[in-house]
């Protein structure tokens, strides 16, 4: 009879925690635009901070567990062979957490500080990032002050890194999604020629409804005459 698999050795609990933290953060952003919902915004910020801290704590525990299980010289050859499957799983989980979930949780924690007025610099996570983490940084930068050129540059830079980190069908799917993502639409429409250049560089087709808008420079529409 096989021993039950520890759920914390699989990606799903970490994904759920990240989604919960992101939902708290999004709800806090919405509530923060209304003075009457200040208490609600603070509650969601606290929830996002608490959930991100839990995710980061569990990731640290897994890294410590993996380091202990890899102890060379402690195990005999046959024991290492018996545990090789678990070690491979731990290695995959470490890469998944280090390149995606941990940077994303760190990004949420920094964004909470930003919304709470504790920092004004772009909340860019440290360390090597995977495509999903790059995409999340771009989304966060796109939500920051639209008139700040530095934030726009940051968003496009990380979108480029996200596309560069994928290939084939995954890149095509990402290219379609980023054109529909409500978090990115204002940024993409603000600079249509740069958007088209980014997508062309990775051979991502424009969505049909955006072909006219992104295929030519933005022009000012004449104001209607009144009266």
Residue keyed to tokens 């940024």: 187
Residue 207 has pLDDT above 80, yes or no: no
pTM for the full model?
0.67
| Helices and strands, counts by H and E, the chain | 11, 0
List the domain boundaries for the chain. Answer: 1-124, 129-221
Residue 205 has pLDDT above 80, yes or no: yes
Residue keyed to tokens 């995959």: 92
User: Cα dihedral sign for 8, 130, 200, 187?
Assistant: positive
Give the rounded distance of the alpha carbon of 225 from its chain centre.
45
The mean per-residue pLDDT over the stretch 120-140 comes to 75
DSSP assignment of 71-108 equals -TTTS-HHHHHHTHHHHHHHHHHHHHIIIIIHHHHHHH
Largest CA distance in the chain: 90
Structure tokens at 156: 């496009």
* CA–CA distance, 9 with 154 (Å, rounded to integer): 33
Q: Is there a contact between 100 and 133 (Cβ–Cβ < 8 Å)?
A: yes
Q: Which residues contact 39 (CB under 8 A, 6 or more apart)?
A: none
Across 3-7, 41-45, 197-201, least confident range: 3-7
Reported as a pLDDT band with limits 50, 70 and 90, residue 80 is: low
Q: At CA 141, angle to CA 115 and CA 33, rounded to 5?
A: 40
SS3 call for 163: helix
Q: At CA 29, angle to CA 23 and CA 32, rounded to 5?
A: 135
Supply the pLDDT for residue 220: 46
Q: Is there a contact between 178 and 159 (Cβ–Cβ < 8 Å)?
A: yes
* CA–CA distance, 124 with 138 (Å, rounded to integer): 9
* CA–CA distance, 100 with 116 (Å, rounded to integer): 24
For 108-121, the pLDDT digits (tens) are: 887 787 777 765 55
Supply the pLDDT for residue 218: 45
């Amino acid at each position: 009879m096989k021993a039950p698999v520890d759920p914390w050795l699989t990606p799903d609990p970490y994904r759920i925690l990240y989604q919960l933290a992101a939902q708290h953060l999004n709800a806090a952003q919405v509530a923060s635009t209304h003075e009457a919902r200040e208490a609600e915004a603070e509650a969601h910020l606290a929830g996002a901070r608490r959930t991100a801290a839990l995710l980061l704590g569990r990731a640290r525990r897994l890294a410590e567990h993996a380091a202990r299980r890899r102890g060379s010289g402690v195990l005999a050859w046959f024991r290492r062979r018996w545990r090789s499957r678990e070690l491979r799983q731990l290695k995959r989980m470490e890469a998944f957490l280090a390149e995606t979930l941990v940077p994303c949780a760190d990004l949420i924690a920094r964004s909470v500080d930003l919304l709470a007025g504790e920092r004004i610099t772009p909340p860019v996570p440290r360390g090597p990032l995977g495509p999903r983490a790059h995409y999340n940084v771009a989304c966060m930068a796109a939500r920051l002050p639209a008139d700040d050129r530095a934030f726009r540059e940051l968003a496009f830079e990380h979108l480029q890194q996200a596309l560069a980190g994928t290939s084939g069908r995954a890149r095509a799917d990402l290219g379609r999604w980023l054109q529909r993502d409500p978090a990115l639409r204002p940024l993409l429409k603000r600079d249509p020629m740069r958007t088209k250049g980014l997508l062309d560089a990775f051979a991502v087709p424009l969505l049909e409804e955006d072909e006219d808008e992104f295929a030519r420079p933005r022009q000012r529409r004449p104001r209607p005459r009144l009266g």
